[in-house]
């Protein structure tokens, strides 16, 4: 792909040359959808990779390829990694789901871990974080902070993970501000700073004074800063360079403990297919510092909400809730099951517009 890839391949070649010596090293590969310097999603995955290196030192060797498009090219990159002796490969974007399954079939001895997907195999695990818990906190703050009652939402692709986030944010914004309205724009990309900035600008021009994003770069933060009075939240990473305003809080993904645990499992020979879905309680989802731009009482409520989810006392999808078409979904006090959440393909009542199919 890039310069770093060249370096990585050169490193791989060297690694092969000295293969006899490095026989007992566990090799862990990472496939990234964006550049490691995106300041968001891929940046956090790479932090997890660096944590693995630091934790295991000489016993582990990591390789990564960045900016791999979701599609056939991903299959080529994974195959290459497997051929070069990787023992464990993390594929860190939803669109790598089928490529991961395909490549895993060809390399039964290599373990694969696919992020945010739902297809497993004897040597393919899936893992994801309950980002929607963080979205609940965001929605709560957003509903309180908006003056125009219009909240802009930059979606990436219409997949369950993103739809869950929209629903969760909407439910909690609506709870504190019944007049709130969501404007949703689908960018159809995970990473394209110019397009993300355009989307944010469009939403601001149409009256939004809070922007939530489910794309990976910090461009919407920059657009909001330019506009002056628009609130944003860090996505996937803290994005604290835009604190205390416009960025008033963030959802941080912490993959390091999981990556270390899974690498350890491969070393010990105890690796098994798993379906991991951890949230605030397990520490995979963290809420970045809520800045002083948020009123003290709102901040307190937000932290209480976070504490309730951490303690397992509160589920962001608790009834009574209806679907967008008015049909009943959850009865009073009922909480959503993981199966429904994992495949969520509907908006909750009150959201406008259709989900692209």
Partner 1 sequence: MDLGEINPVLLVASLMVAATPLLLAAIGELVVEKAGVLNLGVEGMMIVGAISGFAISVETGSPWLGFIAAAIGGAVLSLLFVLLTQVALANQVASGLALTLFGLGFSALLGQSYVGVKPPSMGDIHIPLISDIPVIGPILFQHDPILYVGIALTAAVWATLKYTRVGLILRAVGENHDAAHALGYKVIKIRIMAILFGGACAGLGGAYISLIRVPQWTEGMTAGVGWIALALVVFASWKPWRALLGAYLFGGITVLQLNLQAAGVAIPVEYLAMSPYIITILVLVILSADKSSAPASLGRTFHASH
Q: Which residues here bind partner 1, judged by CB under 8 A?
A: 2-6, 34-39, 67, 152, 158, 183-186, 188-189, 191-195, 197-199, 201-203, 205-207, 217-219, 222-223, 225-226, 241, 352-354, 356-357
Question: Which CB sits closer to partner 1, 34 or 48?
Answer: 34
Min separation Cβ 188 and partner 1, Å: 5
**DSSP for residue 333:** T
Structure tokens at 274: 């798993």
Least Å distance, CB 203 to partner 1, is 6
CB of 310 vs partner 1, minimal distance in Å: 29
Q: Which is nearer to partner 1, 158 or 283 (CB)?
A: 158
Q: How far is the CB of 59 from partner 1 (least distance, A)?
A: 28
Q: Closer to partner 1 by CB, 73 or 205: give it.
A: 205
Instruction: Give the nearer residue to partner 1 in terms of CB position, either 1 or 101.
Output: 1
Residue 321's beta-bridge partner residues? Answer: 330
Q: Report yes or no: 207 and 227 within 8 Å, Cβ to Cβ.
A: no
Peptide bond preceding 209: is omega within 30 degrees of 0, i.e. cis? Answer: no
The structure tokens listed for 329 are 């979904």
For partner 1, the closer of residues 3 and 325 by Cβ is: 3
Nearest approach, Cβ of residue 157 and partner 1 (Å): 10
Any residues with CB less than 8 A from the CB of 117 and at least 6 apart, and which? 94, 96, 97, 100, 126, 128
In contact, 151 and 212? CB cutoff 8 Å: yes
Could you give phi then psi for residue 313, rounded to 5 degrees?
-90, -20
Q: Closest approach of Cβ 183 to partner 1, in Å?
A: 5
Shortest separation between residue 35's beta carbon and partner 1, angstroms: 3
Among 138, 113, 142, CA closest to 126: 113
Specify the residue, 337 or 354, whose C-beta has the smaller distance to partner 1. Answer: 354
Rounded to an integer, what distance in angstroms lies between the CA atom of residue 274 and that of residue 124? 8
Nearer to partner 1, 158 or 319 (CB): 158
CA distances from 111 to 3, 62, 196, 198, 280 (A): 27, 14, 35, 40, 27
253 vs 216: CA distance, rounded Å: 12
Cα distance between residue 348 and residue 101, in whole Å = 32
Q: Which is nearer to partner 1, 295 or 353 (CB)?
A: 353
State the nearest-atom distance from the C-beta of 108 to partner 1, in Å: 34
How far is the C-alpha of 46 from the C-alpha of 36, rounded, in Å? 6
- Cβ proximity to partner 1: between 12 and 184 the closer is 184
| Nearest to 138, CA basis, from 169, 167, 174, 170 | 169
Q: Which of 138, 91, 303 is nearest to 235 (CA)?
A: 138
Q: How far apart are alpha carbons 257 and 263 in whole angstroms? A: 10
- Smallest gap from Cβ 156 to partner 1, in A, equals 12
Residue 34, SS3?
coil
Tokens of 208: 């939004």
């Amino acid at each position: 792909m890039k310069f770093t890839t060249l370096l990585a391949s050169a490193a791989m070649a060297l690694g092969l040359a000295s293969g006899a010596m490095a026989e007992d090293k566990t090799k862990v590969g990472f496939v990234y959808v964006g550049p490691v310097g995106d300041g968001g999603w891929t940046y956090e995955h790479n932090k997890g990779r660096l944590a693995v290196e630091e934790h295991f030192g000489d016993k582990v060797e990591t390789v990564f390829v960045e900016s791999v498009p979701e599609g056939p090219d991903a299959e080529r990159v994974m195959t290459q990694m497997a051929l070069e002796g990787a023992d464990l490969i993390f594929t860190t974007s939803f669109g790598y789901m089928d490529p991961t399954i395909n490549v895993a079939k060809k390399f039964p001895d290599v373990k694969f871990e696919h992020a945010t997907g739902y297809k497993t195999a004897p040597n393919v695990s899936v893992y994801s974080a309950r980002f929607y818990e963080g979205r609940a906190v965001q929605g709560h703050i957003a509903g309180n902070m908006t003056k125009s009652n219009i909240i802009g939402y930059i979606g990436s692709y219409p997949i369950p993970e993103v739809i869950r986030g929209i629903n969760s944010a909407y439910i909690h914004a609506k709870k504190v501000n019944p007049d709130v309205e969501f404007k949703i724009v689908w960018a159809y990309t995970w990473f394209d700073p110019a397009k993300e900035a355009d989307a944010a600008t469009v939403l601001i021009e149409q009256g939004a004074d809070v922007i939530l994003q489910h794309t990976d770069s910090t461009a919407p933060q920059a657009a909001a800063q330019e506009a002056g009075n628009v609130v944003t939240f860090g996505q996937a990473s803290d994005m604290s360079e835009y604190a205390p305003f416009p960025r008033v809080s963030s959802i941080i993904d912490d993959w390091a403990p999981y990556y270390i645990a899974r690498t350890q499992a491969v070393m010990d020979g105890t690796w098994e297919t798993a379906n991991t879905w951890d949230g605030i309680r397990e520490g995979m989802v963290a809420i970045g510092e809520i800045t002083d731009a948020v009123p003290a009482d709102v901040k307190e409520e937000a932290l209480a909400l976070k504490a309730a989810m951490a303690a397992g006392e509160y589920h962001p999808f608790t009834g009574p809730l209806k679907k967008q078409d008015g049909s009943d979904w959850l009865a009073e006090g009922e909480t959503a099951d993981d199966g429904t959440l994992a495949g969520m393909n509907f908006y909750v009542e009150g959201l406008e517009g259709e989900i692209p199919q």
